[in-house]
Amino acid sequence: MEMSDLEKIEDQHPELKFYMIDVPNPHYHGHIDGNNVYINENQPELDWLVTALHECVHSDYDYGDLSDGTRFSTKIAERWAIRESRREYNAMLNGKLAN
């Protein structure tokens, strides 16, 4: 049985634990807290993949508290995570994860 795309992401990041959570807010996609990645199960499945990759990028490259979205350093980290996760997602669509 072939792994789902989300399982492939989880397999690439064994140090992280992924949890689906029920957040009835259309603006919430997910977040990472330590080694725990929380993904909003109310979003479409495609969004789960993008969110998982986005949070993996934070895990791999970011340190410190990114909860204050008004800080310039947080904005830079978020922008970079968006672009890097998009690159990872595109590589995934072509049959392999970039890392």
Instruction: Give me the CATH number covering residue 46.
Output: 1.10.10
Containing structural domain, residue 82: 5-93
Within a domain: 98: no
Tens-place pLDDT, residues 9-49 = 999 999 999 999 999 999 999 999 999 999 999 999 999 99
3-state secondary structure of 46: helix
Query: Is position 45 within any domain?
Result: yes
- Residue 91 pLDDT greater than 80, yes or no: yes
Single pTM value for the model: 0.85
| CA–CA gap between residue 15 and residue 17 (Å, rounded) | 7
State the pairing for strand pair 17-21/36-40. parallel
* Residue 56, in any domain of the structure: yes
Of 32, 81, 44, 36, nearest to 61 (Cα)?
Answer: 81
Identify the residue whose tokens are 């595109």.
Answer: 90
